[in-house]
Every structure is written in C-alpha cells, then in structure tokens.
Structure 1
C-alpha cells in the first residue's frame, strides 16, 4: 500500500503506540486525522509532525454520537479517508472477581465496542478509496490470556475475531478495503501505569495489584516509536497480522504449539 498523499485516521494518537503510528505514517507522506480524549497529548503529537496535513479531533470513543460524527469532520478537513487505525485502549488491574461490572463494561466499550463503532462509521468512506485498510490494534493478550486480565483479554480476543471475520467478508465481496490486526507485546507506554484499579478491594489486595503492575511494567521495553514503525511497515506490506516484538512472536508460537498448556510454559520462562 502506497501511503504518500493518503489520509489516515488514528485513534489514541495523543501518546503511546498511537503517536508512534502517526509519526511513522507522517514520515511516509500520509496526511493525518488524529483523535484522542487527551487534547493536550494530541497537540504534542501534532507538534512532532512536519510536511503533511494534520487535523486534530478530541474524541471520547465511548460517545456514540461523537464517533458517528467523526467521518464528516475528517472529510471536511481532508476530503477522503484511506486508512482507519483503531488504536485507543485502556486497562484495568485485578482479577475477574475484583473488577466490578461497571469497570468491566467500561473497558469493553473502549477496547472493543469503539473499534466496531468506528469501523461501521468509516467503512462507507473507505470503500470509496481505490485502496484502503482498517487496522485494529489487539494485543499479545489477544493471543494468550494470562490471569488478572479477564476484561482486557476478552476485549482484545474480540478485536481479533471481529477483524478476521470482517477481513474475510470484505475479501469475499471483492472489496478494496483490507484488514490488519496488530498484536503488540511489551511496549513502553502508559497503559499499565494508568490502569484503573478495582474499586472494591481490601488494602492488602490493592497492594498486591500495585506490586503486579510494577512487575509487569518491567516487561514493557520496546519504544512506541519503534512499535509504530513496525506496524506501519506491516500496513505497507498489507499484512493481515502484525506481531510487534519478540515476546509477541514467542507467545503466538507457544500458544500455537500448546493451546491449552501455554500459560504454564510462559509462567516458568517469566520466573
């Protein structure tokens, strides 16, 4: 896929992987419509970009009306859309029993339902392009499901399933729109540090969750800029799946070899 002169919508572009993707796209001459709830982060990302047209769209992806209105705003600024990158995401700490229903539903709204919502909103525009692509950011935890990640894994597995089924539907229809699903491993972003803690836990449980968060943070080593470059290279090559980082590749391989017992293998290697 030739990206120069095209228009990409990137959610979660106010920092982390979204910013890395935006920077990598801009280096290829791709114009950008950047969306994020964090207006300051959007402004900072925009300040790092040169040589392409950039529009900023403060957006809460759980707001159905705002998501439905975004395509018209992007077309008003850029005239077209060729690439949709659904990257916005959040995390929650704690086990299934510790995470209450409201927080579980909130994570699903951001990490999965917003992906579906924005894909539905932009698909008619993308189908007008001679060559377009939907890029949905799942996770290593959309390939493997560790303990303490019931909500996050549920959402990221759902993104994977949605993306793969949608890809086949579009292929069967002879559409010019392709679908890429991305599985990043340990990327050094704020998602773990800013993970929402459970609201109804004991002090002892809260301390254990905080300790696990600190331990998990040590596995997040790849820079978002490098991750963005890997993802955009996968877009250029029209890959259906992009694994970002050695840990994602190893996790995917072990899960394939041992689909039931992979966690015991991974747990021993992490220890």
Structure 2
C-alpha cells in the first residue's frame, strides 16, 4: 500500500530554526511549508522548496494566521474575507517560489488555529475551499476525516486527503486533544511507534480515554516542532517500511 509521511516544515524565521528540516526532508515524502504568517519567510520558503525538489519530496502550502509570536496557535478576530485573502496570498507566494525551482505545490494544509476556525464554521470552510479551487482545481486539501474541511473540499470539487496525526492524542469524538491538556502531544518514541503500528495494522488509534477509534487516512503527519521530531519521523518511516508500505508523496498516493 502506498502511504504518505508528511511534516510541517520551514517554520523558523530569519536566523531562527524550529526543527531539523534537512534531516526531515531525507525522511518524509511530503512537506507542508509555512508561508510567512505563523512562521517562515521568503528565504526559508525558497530554501525549503529547493531542498524538497532535490530530495523528490512533494510540497504543500501551510497557511496560518498572521501571528508569529503565538506561532499561529491563537484564534484571532478576523473576518471570513480576511481569512480567504490571507490564505490565497500564502498559497500564491509558495506557488511562485515553487515555479522558480521547477517544483509544484500539490496540496494545502491549514495550520493550527486557522484550521480550527475553518472546521468550526461550515460556511467558512466552504468559502476557503472554493477559493483554493479558483486558484488551482488540482490542489488537494489535507484534513482530518469527518471534519468540516473534508466536507467542504468535496463540495468545492477538490480532493480531500485525510491524515492520521502520529504525535497527537485523539478524543473519542475523533478530534484532537487540545494543546495544553496533559497528554495532548505524544513525545515518547515507543508510544508513537505503537500508535503507527496499530494504524497500519487495522486503521485505528486508541484515544486518550482508551477507546479504539477507526481512522480513515492515507497520510501520517508528524509535527516538526514536537520534541525529537526527526527521531519520531525516522521511526514512523521504519514502521511503514516494515509493514510493506511504500512511502509516496501525497499527490501520488492514489495513482
């Protein structure tokens, strides 16, 4: 089975780096690249795209709210029109850089609070996916299964690409345990490996309260800012390969 392993990348700013993007680029099959709002800047975007092209890694835009200090994890009082415009601005910026390097943006993956705000409002979710479709109908939309963004992508005629989040705890409702709550982020290497092994074996995850929950996905996400993310990504890749899976960029998983 083809399966994608992806990570959020390029999430530094100026001289500051969040994760080992070089090491991750040797490990994953797709990169969700920050576009300068919650993190990243033109130089980091350029370097990350160039590196992805060299390594044969697929790329997607990772638009967020304009909140460098809060890393895009705080909800902001912005209008639907502003969210649509800022998303298109970020996707377009990455498309321009990708074209310069002979690469192509193939998906969009909302960051943190941006995605939470979209998933909390069906009308906003649909407005955003229709804007993506107007830019490029071939763009896939990364989402968690059963959420508003998945439904909106389908209504807009886009392909939703569902994710399993290896380093985040799930609730019995299929949502993520909020950051800040104990156990929300999973750092332990053995725990992550066991979760991925379970997902690959029967397409499920054990929730924070012990419920076995089906997860309909063909991509596994590891956050680059999770402590030890490179080691986690390498362990996840090893589990995929041990299960007979073929690591494949998200844009080619369904080929």
State the TM-score, normalizing by the size of structure 2: 0.39
Instruction: Compare CA radii of gyration and give the structure with the larger one.
Output: 1
Larger helix fraction of residues = 1
